[in-house]
Structure 1
Amino acid sequence: PYSVRNLETLLGISKSEINASINRSVSSGLAIKDRNSGRANPNRRNLHNFIVHGLKFVFPAKAGAMTRGIPTAFAAPMLKGLLISGGDYIHIWPFAEGRDIGQSVEPLFKSVPEAALKDERLYEYLALVDALRLGNQREAKLAEGRVYERLLKK
């Protein structure tokens, strides 16, 4: 179970933005309100389809300048080693306290680097999302499989 207050603390997003996001998710079918509790729960199938097929069009990503930050996509610690890179620079979210240097990628929201450091599971999901946003066909297919395992294979 979640609370808006806990999400605010964990994600670094205001309560009003969290509420607006939940309402948009219910309206679009990415979440479904529970009949008994009234709490919004993810519609896992729709969420999976959106992440895999639509997110890169709504939130396109391009590698930018070299900077310091937190590794993302297949450079993230939990995904590192799953894909052999051809020597390209790693992708990172710009973050002044980060220890890695790589090509910057604009995160989905400004508080993503800090939120990812607080929650390893959230970090993995966000890194997978970036792998889909940035990756070529092989990388995207691997990320798609991992997203499927996490969201639908229960």
Structure 2
Amino acid sequence: MSDLSDFDALIGTWTTTATHPQMDATVAGRTTFEWLDGGKFLIQRSHNEHELFPDAIAVIGPPEDGDGLLMEYFDSRGVRRTYVIALEDGVLRVWRDHPTFAQRYSATLADDEFRGLWQAAETPGDWRDDLAVTYRRVLETPS
């Protein structure tokens, strides 16, 4: 079974700002990362303040068979995708190889803010920048 302990760095709530090459706007949103009870799977939920940016949920954990980690992604458009995910030396990487729509994402994590970039390739190896997202940690106020 693969180790998810490095993903503790993501736990909490993050405000997001996203840009896409096909839009002139910056889209605000919110993402949370939380452990499923038992700590064997990580749940990511995201909400965006623009109808063209889907809300989504993802579950991160080990595959049924084999090594590594997978991210099962579902969004409000009805899209479902399976990605490979890794967090090593503070760099979060997500990717899927598909002959007509491959995707990859990379971000170097920091405690309170980080920026990640999605890239897409509709032809193998022909990568183009896609969605850029900046995450800012929401600090919890003491009760």
TM-score by length of 1: 0.23
Bigger RCO (CA 8 Å, 6+ sep): 1
Larger Rg: 1 or 2? 1
> Could you say which structure has the higher strand fraction?
2
